[in-house]
A and B are shown apart, each in its own frame.
Chain A
Amino acid sequence: MKLNRIFKLLFILLCLVYGNLNGQDLEATMKMEFAKDDSLNICKVFVSSNDSVVKEVEVKLYVKRLFSLLPVGDATATDEDGMATFEFPKDIPADLNGKLLVIAKIEDDDNYANTEVSGEINWGTPRKANAELERSLAGSRANAPIYFIVVSNLIIFGIWGTLVYVVLQLFRIKRLGHSHKKTISKN
């Protein structure tokens, strides 16, 4: 019987070791809610663990960006009801629809494992679609300023037109020469 107790102890030890190997603190579950309070946008994060609310746990709020997560507001601890309330800024740029991916995280907490929850909300300022590059001197060939194209072509065709005219005159000389020869031979 003593041995049995030892075995049970070993079993519990094993479970604890196993648990520590996986870095498991207590598991927490988070839920995200969005609400409006007068003119303010509020984001509420509810933290619970095994059906009981979790108090005094720091929750950080982020918005997903291309390269990283942008921190929003300050880290807030959950109150007695397990709720961390964040005032959400109204001026965060978002995609074409104004949609933002908001992420709430518990990070590096002493008692609880790293958890996160995310939610989408249309609280971002929607961006406009990429504008076409306008005509400029720095633009591509097709994007040259109109006045530039017009004036340069006028000058080029004006001068080359004169050159073509002069060359045509040469051929007139040639024709005159031949007709002159004919006149002589006739006489």
Chain B
Amino acid sequence: MSIQDIKLDKTTYETFTQEEYLVMKDELLRPVQRIGKWGKIWITFLILICLIGIYAYYVQETRSKYVTVSLRDYTMWGVYISNFVFFVALSLIGVLMSAVLKLTHFEWYRPLSRIAEVIAVAAILLAGVSIVAAMGRPDRLHFLFIHGRIQSPIVWDIIVIMTYIATSLILLFIPLIPSLATCKNHLHNKPKWQMKMYELLSFGWEGTAEQWKILKRSIRILTVLVIPLGVSIHTVTAWLFATTLRSEWDSTNFGAYFVSGAFLLGVAGMVVAVFIFRKAYKLEHYLTPMHFDKLGQALVLMACIYIYFNVNEYLVPAYKMSGLHENHLLNLFTGDEAPFYWSVVFFGMIVPAILPLFKAMRKPLPLTIISFIVVIAAWFKRYLIVIPGLSHPYLPIQDVPASWKHYTPSLVEMTIVAATFAAMMLIVTLFSRFFPIISVWEVAEGKLEGKDEIINYK
């Protein structure tokens, strides 16, 4: 084999023409190459919030939890748990955008897959952080591993989360390898340790035919694996509630209800992320209005499915109005939580199901605003699932201090929740500053195999 042959091998898979490749390479490596002023300010801001969050956790653990946290005997689970559920839901974005779309040959996923995978990994890591913040004795965390009971849903959740983290990391990493080789070859003026990192992580990638074969097969195996795994992770999280006898959680619907909610959140989260990356890194050529159009349609689909599960979850029990569910349902529909509940229903489900039906609403900016509202409503939806029911146990709450009857998150709790969001965005931001956020070869592969719809309409 001569050197000429090898070069041909490389160019066959990387891009279309040499000029196009060079343009692409420059554009996609620019955020890695250079961090602008606003980029630095953003990262500093996120680090600041994370530090404040760490301080808040320190305060929580060193001072009495009765004072720092609003949890009490009846409302023993609070925003940490609902935040945990939210982040587990968000981590299914990888399953949806990267795996499901790929296997169903929706080629427009290609520029989005790495963004989705990074958010998935960051979200699931922060879910773990959120749940540890909720533990009464975090110094006994290792007990979960040495004394763990296989019959406990918490242990199932830990097993599935750890498996999902491993799978998502590998699924993030393997398609990254060719990009790492590109980074190694084409970045300049970067610190030595960074270049060394690319060298190490690219695992001797040369772009040979055999290496491509192994890479693609590995990705295919993991893509198939991550779908049931991702569905399991959120189903098991739903079972943390559904395996109890509490009337507000005693529902056979819970697993599917949670997973469908996760898909809706995934699409909405994707829209927001795509919009930010598009603007911040000037990637308008790759994250095009076509993507927003498709994502908008996906948003409608997911919202409709979620509405379907909500109807089954709330309206069917409301028809029967069994004594067991009465308190909880009336509280949500007409009671204290009613304004809260109906706002969440409207903004979290009705709006994404109807507005994106109009083409004008599927333009980048309007769709991003709608999606942002959906993300916020989704966070509050999980709050409504976890907390209000706790104030209405089977045996009435009597003879307790006022703070025991109703839960309002304390400052410490909200600070830590905010810090988890900041930390998630920090992980995604830092990743996008070290590695190209769009997978060049996946885009090029599609173009080469005649799938023009990746970036442009025909």
Contact = CB atoms under 8 A, between A and B. Distances in A.
Q: Taking the complex as a whole, does A directly touch B, i.e. does some CB pair lie under 8 Å apart?
A: yes
Interface of A: 137-141, 144-145, 148-149, 152, 156, 159-160, 162-163, 165-167, 169-178, 180-181, 183-184, 187
B372 to A, nearest CB: 35
Interface string B3-16: 10010000000000
B81 interface: no
Interface in B155-172: 156, 159, 163, 166-167, 170
Nearest to B164: A159
A169 B214 contact: yes
B206 A144 contact: no
Contacts of A171: 203
B116 to A, nearest CB: 19
A144 B150 contact: yes
B151 A139 contact: yes
Interface residues of B, number: 32
B206 A180 contact: yes
B151 A170 contact: no
Contacts of B151: 137-139, 141, 144-145, 148
A180 B208 contact: yes
A173 B225 contact: no
Given A173-B177, A174-B204, A176-B211, A141 B163 contact: no
A131 to B, nearest CB: 20
Contacts of B423: none
B1 A183 contact: yes
Interface string B202-233: 01111010110011011001100100010000
B2 interface: yes
| Dominant secondary structure at the A interface | helix
B140 interface: no
B217 A169 contact: yes
B218 A176 contact: no
Closest 3 CB pairs of A and B: A177-B204, A174-B204, A174-B203
B204 A140 contact: no
Max count, chain B CB within 10 A of own CB: residue among A144, A159, A173: A173
B149 to A, nearest CB: 5
B148 interface: yes
B211 A141 contact: no
SS class, residues of chain B in contact with chain A? helix
Contacts of A187: 1-3
A108 to B, nearest CB: 41
B64 to A, nearest CB: 32
B149 A176 contact: no
B142 interface: no
Given A170-B174, A176-B204, 11 more contacts: A140-B149, A144-B150, A148-B151, A152-B156, A156-B163, A159-B229, A166-B170, A169-B217, A169-B218, A170-B218, A173-B177
Contacts of B150: 141, 144, 148-149, 152
Contact of A184 (B3, B149, B203): B3
Contacts of A163: 163, 166-167, 170, 222, 225
B189 to A, nearest CB: 26
B1 A173 contact: no
B176 to A, nearest CB: 11
A174 to B, nearest CB: 4
Nearest to A175: B204
B37 interface: no
Contacts of B148: 141
A63 to B, nearest CB: 37
Nearest to A153: B150
B279 interface: no
B147 interface: yes
Given A163-B170, A187-B1, A170 B149 contact: no
B433 to A, nearest CB: 24
B104 to A, nearest CB: 22
Contacts of A181: 204, 206
Interface string B180-207: 0000000000000000000000011110
A178 B222 contact: no
A176 B229 contact: no
Contacts of B149: 140-141, 144
A171 B148 CA distance: 33
B401 to A, nearest CB: 33
Contacts of A173: 177, 203-205, 211, 214-215
27 contacts: A139-B151, A141-B147, A141-B149, A141-B150, A141-B151, A144-B149, A144-B150, A144-B151, A148-B150, A156-B163, A159-B167, A159-B225, A163-B222, A166-B170, A166-B174, A166-B221, A167-B170, A169-B214, A170-B174, A173-B177, A173-B203, A173-B214, A174-B204, A180-B208, A181-B204, A183-B1, A184-B6
Nearest to B219: A166
A69 B230 CA distance: 62
Contact of A170 (B2, B3, B156, B203): B203
A149 B155 CA distance: 13
A176 B205 CA distance: 8
A187 B225 CA distance: 41
